[in-house]
Chains A and B, each alone.
Chain A
């Protein structure tokens, strides 16, 4: 038993011996690390056998599961000797990314992965993904071409998009009418949006439901408001570093958003409410509008009534030059670089992005197709048809901010929290984002 600190102190010789041992292990570290980092990777591989597919929507979304099961059956029917094994993964992005990281670092894991597009997924893991350029039917690549930026880099194709995603505002037509607004009059400008919000507030409704604890709304509002102020070229310049974050254009985007917050146009207490908690406000009729994702349209239609749900697209896009719709890719199917059946996996990925699966996703899940050959006409959901119609008129589907690196996107979200809290000005916050951008380069 040790009775005092002095007794617990190791003698000098023992300490030096320990230090020497530690140094020896430290020296061995790089050697051990190098052993673990061999360059083994899968090649084309066998065209039969089992494909392991990681799918993080399967457990939480029954309709998604139905569509994917049908796609698996079609693929297995067309590829004798090939089977598909879906593995349900957690839908939480942070947890899923950790699992991906572990699998890819250990050169093991699935053959096919469902991934977030752009830097949120594909580009952060691109060194663990296979280039499928030569392994997929060029016709499929051509069909999804307007959305390929989400999975293409340095002349390599790392995956195929499943559908389109955009930030839109859905609204409840009955609440609009109750607040004295014309529910069928299209809101196409920022001023009209703010005016509608103020009128809803005066009528006692929460204008726009939103939960921003994680800062996601900050990023979403950038995608929503930027196109009305900046062009597609501006968006690309910002991503490439040619335009600084402190540019007047970005300051204006932030100031417009913060003005909406300070006018009380979002849920009271939004900053401490998680993103997952704000939807009930819209569903139960407390809020007239909700900032959401296009893929959520069918769910909300079910809550407030198919004919009662309207959609407001990003204000100003009709007059933007060139015409570009602020829609990113919803999700991307990728092939692991370490798959032993990489060619078979690439064919499977192509089948998940083909017209049949895209069409099925559209009608069953309400997923807007990235595949331009998929039919989008018949649907029970007017709001879905309206969005599909809008997307089809734009050649470029690229939301601003989707090209940002993960650390930049995180910096933007967290800095805007300070602007909203009144602890920083838009210029100060954007200067900090610019610092992170400079560091990234």
Chain B
């Protein structure tokens, strides 16, 4: 016991030496393990995340076919973006998705609350909600491209209930393709959103509900004043996640569902980035589109966070 105590005591001579070490060296000794442990992860992130961004920024200022050394063209690609009707249509379509953000935030929240409150949804329906999470978006796209064909089950069902006049090529008609895509994308994301909100609700202290019950709160009041405020951090995270997905993660679903057609009526900006690079072999322009999206998402995310912060302050 005594010896242990003695070993924990810094000998006086060592203490004196320690105090003579420069402050910077002391800091380094303290931080070295953390730096060494983090270094591999940071290196991987730098190579596979940061460098591609840097390269994209550079190539966006060039004309490049992906093979020959790129030719510097300044901001020409960015100027072209502003007058390219396809890029503008892709931005418009992505903007339409952004406008539906409240639906993406509140629908899974409502389902999660209903499940939590035990008001609705048996196990089978809960399972049905989770299934899309397990499916690749490409598979979802292929599946719905069959379901929504003219001879597919949706139109057959419409015919069976006497609404055959509404049957159409949902994914080939300019006025139905975006609503159809939006519905499918939302269906695909609903389970994940519900899961996030469900996890948030699982951490809700039952005592809060008991206190509300003692105060005579109705179910609706309990949801409004206890459950929803508790879910606010999850909603902030989920909304940012969805917003970024609108700009970066629609590609696999759209590629198999519509390929951006008819015309470019369902082309989103991430699909157009792919098309510019790998179908039109215009890598410089594709990089300019990608860099612009990065900046746009950053700006939108900051605006969104500010709005939320203002709401917090209010």
- Say yes or no for B268: interface residue by CB 8 A criterion: no
**Does B173 make an interface contact (CB < 8 A)?**
yes
Q: Which of B189-237 contact A (CB under 8 A)?
A: 236
Say yes or no: is A410 at the interface (Cβ < 8 Å to chain B). yes
Cβ–Cβ contact B148 & A415, under 8 A: no
B-side contacts of A420, CB under 8 Å? 262
Is A269 part of the contact surface with B, judged by Cβ < 8 Å?
A: yes
- B117 located at the interface, meaning its Cβ lies under 8 Å from any Cβ of chain A in the complex: no
**Bound Cα distance A354, B148 (Å):** 48
Question: Which chain B residues lie closer than 8 Å to A39 at the CB level?
Answer: 69
Chain A residues within 8 Å of B51, by CB: 25, 32
What chain A residues lie within 8 Å of B265 (beta carbons)?
418, 423
* A359, CB-defined interface residue at 8 Å: no
CB of B279 within 8 A of CB of A26, answer no
Query: Does B143 make an interface contact (CB < 8 A)?
Result: no
Asked if residues B275 and A272 are in contact (CB atoms below 8 Å), the reply is no
A234 proximity list for chain B (CB < 8 A)? none
Q: Would A272 and B54 be within 8 Å (CB), given that A4-B312, A33-B59, A127-B67 are in contact? A: no
Q: 1/0 per residue B50-62: CB within 8 Å of A?
A: 1100110111000
Shortest Cβ gap from A272 to chain B (Å): 4
**9-residue interface stretch from B12-20, B100-108, B123-131, B164-172:** B164-172
Across the interface, which residues of B come within 8 angstroms of A124, CB to CB? 65, 281
Query: In the complex the two chains form, is B69's CB within 8 Å of A424's CB?
Result: no
Beta-carbon nearest neighbor of B54 in chain A: A29
On chain A, the residues within 8 Å of B54 by CB distance are: 25-26, 28-29, 32
Contacts of B66 in A (CB 8 A): 101, 104-105
CB <8 Å contact, B280 and A269: no
Q: In the complex, which of the residues B85, B145, B282, B308 contacts A272, with contact meaning CB atoms closer than 8 Å?
A: B145
> Quick one: CB contact mask for B69-88 with A, threshold 8 Å, 1 for yes?
11000000000100011000
Contact present for B279 and A94 (CB under 8 Å) = yes
Number of residues in A with C-beta < 8 Å to the partner?
Answer: 46
Which residue of the partner chain A has the closest CB to B306? A5
Contact status A269-B150, CB under 8 Å? yes
| B279 in contact with A274 (CB, 8 Å) | no
Q: Mark A289-303, 1 if CB is under 8 A from B, else 0.
A: 000000000000000
CA of A415 to CA of B89, assembled, Å: 13
**Considering the complex, which residues of chain A in the window 424-440 have a beta carbon less than 8 Å from any beta carbon of chain B?**
424, 432, 435, 439
CB-based contact A269/B151 at 8 Å: yes
| Chain A residues near B57 (CB-CB < 8 A) | 26, 29
User: Taking the complex as formed, is A387 at the interface, i.e. its CB lies under 8 A from any CB of chain B?
Assistant: no
Which of B259, B280, B282 has its CB near the most chain A CB atoms (within 10 A)? B280
B121 to A: closest C-beta gap in Å: 31
Query: Is B188 located at the chain interface by the 8 A CB criterion?
Result: no
Identity of the chain A residue whose Cβ is nearest the Cβ of B69 in the assembled complex: A37
Q: B155 — nearest CB in chain A belongs to which residue?
A: A269
**Cα–Cα, bound, A369→B85 (Å):** 42
Tell me the complex Cα distance, A274–B57, Å.
36
When the two chains form their complex, are residues B308 and A5 in contact, meaning their CB atoms are under 8 A apart?
A: yes
B260 within 8 A of A: yes
Asked if B38 CB lies within 8 Å of chain A CBs, one says no
B111 to chain A: closest CB distance in Å? 26
The docked-state distance in angstroms from the alpha carbon of A423 to that of B281 is 28
In the complex, the answer to whether A33 meets B58 with C-beta atoms within 8 Å is yes
Of B59, B66, B169, B263, most A-chain CB atoms within 10 Å: B263
Q: In chain B, what residue has the closest Cβ to A411?
A: B86
**C-alpha spacing A300/B305, complex, angstroms:** 60
CB distance from B182 to the nearest CB of A (A): 17
Q: Given A104-B67, A272-B171, are A32 and B275 also a contact pair (CB < 8 Å)?
A: no
The complex places the Cα of A5 from the Cα of B279 at a distance, in Å, of 41
**Taking the complex as formed, is A268 at the interface, i.e. its CB lies under 8 A from any CB of chain B?**
yes
Cβ-based interface call for B44 (8 A): no
Q: Is B116 an interface residue (CB 8 A)?
A: no
A414 touches B151 (CB 8 A): no
Chain B residues closer than 8 Å to A421, beta-carbon distance: 172-174, 262-263
CB < 8 Å: which of B258, B278, B305, B308 contacts A98? B278
Contact with A along B290-309 (1 / 0, CB 8 A): 00000000000000010011
Residue A236, interface by CB 8 Å: no
**Chain B positions 142-161 with a Cβ under 8 Å from a chain A Cβ:** 145, 148-151
Contact B261 A414 (CB under 8 A): yes
Q: Which residues of A contact B173 (CB under 8 A)?
A: 421
Whole-angstrom CA separation of A151 from B262 in the bound complex: 32
Q: Which residues of B contact A33 (CB under 8 A)?
A: 55, 58-59, 70
Given contacts A26-B58, A272-B150, 20 further A-B contacts (CB under 8 A): A5-B309, A5-B312, A25-B54, A29-B54, A29-B55, A33-B55, A101-B278, A104-B67, A127-B65, A127-B68, A213-B145, A213-B259, A269-B150, A271-B169, A272-B148, A272-B169, A272-B172, A406-B281, A417-B261, A423-B262
* 17 pairs, A vs B, C-beta closer than 8 Å: A33-B59, A39-B69, A94-B278, A97-B278, A98-B278, A101-B66, A101-B278, A104-B67, A213-B258, A213-B261, A215-B261, A268-B151, A273-B150, A274-B145, A418-B174, A420-B262, A421-B263
Residues of A within 8 A of B (CB): 4-6, 25-26, 28-30, 32-34, 37, 39, 94, 97-98, 101, 104-105, 124-125, 127-128, 213-215, 268-269, 271-274, 406-407, 410, 414-415, 417-418, 420-421, 423-424, 432, 435, 439
